Amino acid sequence: MNSFLQPIVAAGLAALPIISIVALLVGAGIVAETGIELPKLGIQNLMGAIVLHVIFGIVGPFATALIVTARSTSGLAVEIGNMRVAGELDTIEMLGVNLSNFLVTPRLVGIVISNITLTFYFGLIAMGGGFAMALMGLSMPIATLVRMIETSIKLSDLVLPFLEGLGYGLIISSVSVYHGLRVKNSPADVPRETTLSLVSSLSLCTVMLSLYLIFSSLA
């Protein structure tokens, strides 16, 4: 059980402070922009739907993935790489322990769970920042924004961040573990594979976001 809890704590709980700050600022910024620009276009009635989609469907999952990547990818790759250099992985395999069950699966599951949870947490905190901006910056009654969101919320607004959080989590965890296991017996391999894991994770997450935006625009 500890092997599952460790990556959850490292990738999830430890990231709450920075996630909270970024989410508050992002939510306030999105509501500020939509609250200023949409009335100019005469479509302020769509504010709730746009805010929900942008926060929970686009910005929230991707921003969460970037933060988790920055915090967890390099650390996990370094951990596994150093275990390889120190001969710990070879020892584990010589003892007949399944390396996948002992090392890989707990970290994959832990980071995926953390990323999904943080994605929803980001969305909720961002909405709080949006409400604060509506009240202080736009002089908009919170009840008005709440009604806009209530009339716009759909099941997809909850399913989509779950699927995106799952996808980003799988990318981050699998890339980190893959590059960590690629380390040979040379200490010089650790920083190289760590850098590659970070770059690969960021690139793949960006590709996933781009594909989502493309296909959602065609749907």
154 CA to centre of own chain:
21
Which residue would you say has higher pLDDT here, 105 or 139? 105
Give the pLDDT confidence of 124-158 residue by residue, as tens digits.
999 988 888 877 766 666 677 777 777 777 777 78
Yes or no: say if 60 and 161 are a contact pair by the CB < 8 Å rule: yes
Q: Tell me what pLDDT residue 140 has.
A: 65
Mean pLDDT of the chain: 84
If DSSP codes are grouped into helix, strand and coil, which group holds residue 86?
A: coil
Any residues with CB less than 8 A from the CB of 73 and at least 6 apart, and which? 172, 175, 176, 197, 198, 201
DSSP letters for 160-187: HHHHHHHHHHHHHHHHHHHHHHT--S-T
Give domain limits for the chain. Answer: 2-213
Question: What's the pLDDT tens digit per position in 62-74?
Answer: 999 999 998 888 8
